[in-house]
Structure 1
Amino acid sequence: MELAELRRVYDQEGPFATVYLEGRSPAEDAGAQIRLRWDALRERLRADGAGDGVLERLDAELVSARSGEEQADGRVLVATESGVVLDAPWDAALGSGDDAHWTTLPELGAYVREKARAVRELVVIADQEGAHVRQEVIAEQHEPQEVDAEEVRGGAVEGVHKPRGGALSHKQNQRRADEAVLRNAKDVAEHVRDVGARFRPEVLVLAGEVQARTAIRRELPAESAPQVAETDRGGLDRGASDEALADELLRIAGDLSERRAADLADRFESGLAHQLAVQGDESVAHAAEMGAVDTLLLQDGAPASREAFLLRTCARTDSSAEVVRRELDDGVGALLRHPLTA
C-alpha cells in the first residue's frame, strides 16, 4: 500500500477517533443494528475523552440513511473535532469485531495491513464482439470485491461469425470474420490499457472465449506479459459459472500473494546483508525520521509497539507498507532507499 494515500489524514490536528465496523450479512434491520453497534462504540470513545464535536460528526456519518449491501459493508472512519477525515471500506472477516480508539494519532494499522495484503485484479471476460471488464480488489479470505465494471464492444462493422458455405465466398467471409475479431480485440486491449493505467492492477486475468482472449493478449504491450493470467473458467454465455470464476480469481490472488511474500523475504534478507534493511522499533523509527524508508514491513499478526507513529512518519515521506510472514524484531522492519549514515 502507498502510505501517501493517508497523508491528508495525518496532516490533520488530533486527537483522533478511529472507528472500525466489521462487515456483516445484509439484513432488514441492518440500519438499527448499525445504530446499536455505534452506540456502544460511542460510549467507549466518550469514556476515553472524546468530545461532543467529534462524536456528533461520526453520528452524522454512521446514522445516515444507508440500506442493503451498503449497510452490511465493513467501514473504517477517522474523525477529529474538525470533521471526518477518512471513511473507507474495511473488509475485515466476520468475527473480528467492532473497535474504536481515541488517541493522539489515528490507529490505522489494521486498515493498512488489510490494504497491503489485498490484490488488485483487472478481469477481462471476453467474447469475439468485446468484453466485460471488471476491477476487483481481493482481500485474503474474502470474496472478490468489484470496484467497477464496464461493457466494451468492439468497433468492427463486419460480423464475427463465420458463415457456412463453399469456395471463394466462404474464404472471404471467414477472412472478414477473423478481421472483425481482431478489430474488436484491439479495441478491448486499448480499453484495458486505459483502465489499467488508472487502476494499476497487479494481475490481468483473461477469461471467456479462447479465440477472443488469445486475440486480446496478442494486442497487449509486451511489458504486460508477466502480469497476465488466463483461465477457462467463467464467460459471457448463460452457462458460464460466476462461482467458478470467483474461485479462480481467489486462487490467482493467493498465488500472487505468496510470490509477493517470498520476494519481500528475499529482498529483506539481501537488504540486511547490504545495509539496505533494518528491523526493530528503534532502528526503523530512526530510518523513518531520516526519510530513508522505502517500504515499511509489518509482521503478520504482531502489531509494532509504535505502529501509529511509524505509519504517520512513513506516510509523510512517500513510503509504502507491506505485510510479511516472517518474524521481525518488535514486529517491524523496513527496506531502505539508501544505507543509513552513522
Structure 2
Amino acid sequence: MELTRLRPLLEHPGPMATVYLENRPPGEDAGTQSRLRWQAVRERLEADGATLPALAALDSALRQDPVGEIQADGRVLVACDDGVLLDEHWDASLGSGDAGYWSDAPQLDRYVREALTAVRVLVAVTDQQGARVRQEILGELVTDGTEPAAEQQFSAAGSTVEGSGGGRVHKARRGYLSHKHNQRRADEVVHQNAADVAEHLAVAAGRFRPDALVLAGTVQGRTAVRAELPEHLARISVDADRGGVQDDAAEAALAEQIDEIAEALRSRRLDADTDAFELARSQGLTVRGPGAVADAARQGAVSTVVLGHEAADGPTGDALAASSACGAEVKLADLPEGDYADGRRGIAAVLRFAVPTA
C-alpha cells in the first residue's frame, strides 16, 4: 500500500482528533448504544484538549448516520477545526475497541493495518458464450471510490452476456450433416467468445488492479478463457470449481471458495513481507518503534513502513506522516514483538540505507 494516497491527510496541519468505533452486532437499542459509545470517546477527547469545533464536526458527522449503522459497520473519522477530513466505514473485528486520539497528526495505524488485509479479486463466471464479471474487495470497505462486488454483464457488443462469436456453440453430434464443418465452426465461436472475455478482463484489471483473477463457471468456459488470457493475468488466475450464479446456493458456494482463495493470498503475502523484513533486519537495515521510524524517515531513509499485528506502544502519526513524505510504502508483517519490550512494539521500517536514530 502506498502511503502517498494518505499524504494530504497525514500532512494536514493539526492538531486533530482521530476516532475509531468498532463494529458490533446490532440490537434493538443499536441507536442508543452508538450514541453512548461516541459520548464516552468524546469525553476522553475533550479531556485530552480537543477543541470544540473539531468535536462539533464529529458530532455532526455521526448524527447523520442511519440508526445502528455505526454499530453494524464500524467507523473511522479524523477531524480538526476545519471540519471532517476522513469519514470511512472501518471493518475492524469485534474486540479491537473504540478509541479517540487528539494529536498533531492523525493516528491511522489501525486504519492502515485493517486496509492491508484487503484482497482485490476480479471474478469471471464463465460459460462458452461469455461471462459475468465483478470486482470484489475482501477484508476492506472501499476507500478509493471503487464499488465492491460491482457486477457487470459482459458482452463484446455491450448489450448481452454473449461474446461476439455468434452462432451455435455445442458441437454437432456424429452423423450430423457436414459434421466436421459444424464442429470447426463451434470451436471458432468458443474461441472468439473466450477472446472477447479475456480482452474485457484485461481492461477491467488495468483499472481495478486485482490481486487475483478468479475463473468460475463451466469447465469448458474456464478452460477457453484461460487459454486467451495475457500472461500477467494468467499468472494471477485461480480456478473456482464450486458454485456459480444460477441460484442462491451456487452463489454461497462460490463466495465461500473466493473467501478461501483470498485467505490463502493474505497468508502468502504476510509470509513474503515477513521474510523481507527479516532479511533486512539481518543486514542491519531496520529500525523499530514510532520515534526511530519518524527519525529515519526525516532523513529520507525509510523504504517501507512495517506494521505488526499488535498496536504500537505510542502514537504513530508522526512516523507515518514523515514516511509518506519520503515516498515510503507500508506493509503488514509478523514482527518479533517479544524482543522489543521497551516501547518499540507494533511499528518498524525497512531502510534504504543505514542512518543513526534516537
Q: TM-score, normalised by structure 1?
A: 0.87
1:151 to 134, 153, 171: 153
Count of matched residue pairs: 337
1:124 & 1:187 partners in 2: Cα distance?
12
Q: What letter matches 2:272 in structure 1?
A: D
Report if the CA contact (8 A) 2:240-2:258 is conserved.
Answer: no
Alignment-derived partner of residue 354 in structure 2: 340
For residue 176 of structure 1, what is the amino acid of its counterpart?
R
Q: How does 1:2-41 map to 2 (within 5 A)?
A: 2-25=2-25, 33-41=33-41
Deviations 1:216-238 (A, max 9, x none): 11221112333221120121323
Which among 243, 247, 267 is matched to residue 276 of structure 2?
Answer: 267
Cα contact 1:75–1:90 (8 A) shared by 2: yes
- CA–CA separation in structure 1 for the residues paired with 2:55 and 2:33: 18
Do the aligned partners of 2:119 and 2:139 also contact (CA within 8 Å) in 1?
Answer: yes
- Mapped to 1, the partners of 2:219 and 2:48 lie a distance apart of 59
SS at match of 2:235: helix
Q: Identity percentage over the alignment?
A: 47
Change (3 A) 1:314 1:197: same
Q: Aligned letter for 1:301?
A: E
Relative distance call for 1:118 and 1:100 in structure 2 (3 A) is same
Counterpart of 1:322 in structure 2 is: 331
Q: 1:239 to 1:32 in 2, by over 3 A?
A: closer
Moved more, 68-77 or 112-121: 68-77
1:2–1:319 Cα contact (<8 Å) kept: yes
How is 1:149-188 mapped onto 2 (pairs within 5 angstroms)? Answer: 149-152=151-154, 153=161, 154-162=163-171, 164=173, 166-188=175-197
SS in 2 for 1:255: helix
Deviations along 1:149-176, whole A, 9 cap, x unmatched? 2121322322334455634434333333
Deviation at 1:274, TM superposition (A): 3.7
Structure 2 CA distance for partners of 1:183 and 1:36, relative to 1, 3 Å? farther
State the secondary structure of the residue aligned to 2:203: helix
Cα deviation, 1:187-240, whole Å, max 9, x if unaligned, reads: 222222122122211111111111111121122111233322112012132375
Range with bigger deviation, 256-265 or 277-286: 277-286
1:298 to 307, 310, 314: 307
When normalised by structure 2's length, the TM-score is 0.83
Cα distance in 2 for residues equivalent to 1:225 and 1:92: 33
Q: Do the aligned residues in 2 keep the contact of 1:120 with 1:138 (CA within 8 Å)? A: yes
For the residue of structure 2 that corresponds to 1:114, the secondary structure is helix
2:42 corresponds to which residue?
42
Q: What is the CA–CA distance in structure 1 between the aligned matches of 2:108 and 2:191, rounded to whole Å? A: 47
Q: Secondary structure at the match of 1:150?
A: strand
State the Cα deviation string for residues 305-328 of structure 1 (Å, max 9, x = none). 342211111122221111211315
Mapped pair 1:247 → 2:256? yes
The 1:240/1:170 distance shift into structure 2, 3 A limit, reads: farther
Q: Check conservation: 2:30, 2:68, Cα contact below 8 A.
A: yes
Q: Distance in 1 between matches of 2:14 and 2:224?
A: 54
Q: Distance in 2 between matches of 1:314 and 1:304?
A: 18
8 Å CA contact retained: 2:296, 2:355: no
Taking the aligned partners of 1:190 and 1:69, their CA distance within structure 2 comes to 39
Corresponding residue number in structure 2 for 1:209: 218
**What's the counterpart of residue 135 of structure 2?**
135
Q: Of 276, 294, 297, which aligns to 1:285?
A: 294
Partner of 2:111: 111
- Which blocks of at least 5 consecutive residues in structure 1 are unaligned? none
Query: Are the equivalent residues in 1 in contact too, given 2:2–2:329 (CA < 8 A)?
Result: yes
Question: Is the 2:17–2:80 contact (alpha carbons within 8 Å) kept by the matching residues of 1?
Answer: yes
The 1:73/1:147 distance shift into structure 2, 3 A limit, reads: farther
- Aligned equivalent of 1:93: 93
- 2:169–2:186: 8 Å Cα contact kept in structure 1? yes
Name the CA distance, whole Å, in 2 between partners of 1:279 and 1:197.
36
